[in-house]
Amino acid sequence: MKSKILVGLQFFIIFLMILPFGSKTQHLYSGLLILGLGISLGLLAIKEHKRGNFNIRPDIKENCELVTDGIYAYVRHPMYLSVLVSMFGVAVIYFTYYEFTLFLFLLMTLLLKMFYEEHLWKCHSPAYLEYVQRTKRLIPFVF
């Protein structure tokens, strides 16, 4: 139930962010560049996933494998990073307090989702504890 609530909240906030309610674009090219970077990160993460392993909810799927190659060798949650970078690009395009407030809510939601998913992985796989020692959560070499 917690997973569904977090995913629903995540998509609701994204939906609100992409509906700027008549806001003019402020920094279109900068925002599009950031948005493109976020989408690229997401595509890199999807490329590393095994067939049937991907799950939008933080729940651990039955018979899933821990992915530690490619971008996952540097960041444990590149899909969350992708969403955050992409939506930061959207916030830059519209550049309003409304957009940045929604972005902060999205950040908090994804952090909750991330910590919940990590808790589930620690209970599911002893290899995850070793993986945690080698990688950062969200920002390579930092966090």
Burial state string for 25-48 with b = 16 or more CB within 10 A and e = fewer than 16: eeeeeebeebbeebeebbeebeee
Phi, psi dihedrals of residue 72, rounded to the nearest 5°: -70, -10
Q: CB of 116 within 8 A of CB of 55?
A: no
pLDDT tens-digit profile, the chain (143 residues): 888 899 999 999 999 999 877 677 878 899 999 999 999 999 998 888 766 666 777 767 677 778 888 888 899 999 999 999 999 999 999 888 889 999 999 999 999 999 998 898 888 888 888 888 889 888 877 77
Cβ neighbour number for residue 114 with a 10 Å cutoff? 19
Q: Give the residue carrying structure tokens 């990073």.
A: 81
Which structural domains are found in the chain, ordered by start?
2-134 (1.20.120.1630)
First and final CA of the chain: distance in angstroms?
28
List beta partners, residue 136: 75
Q: What's the whole-model pTM score? A: 0.88
Phi, psi dihedrals of residue 98, rounded to the nearest 5°: -55, -50
List beta partners, residue 75: 136
Cβ neighbour number for residue 4 with a 10 Å cutoff? 10
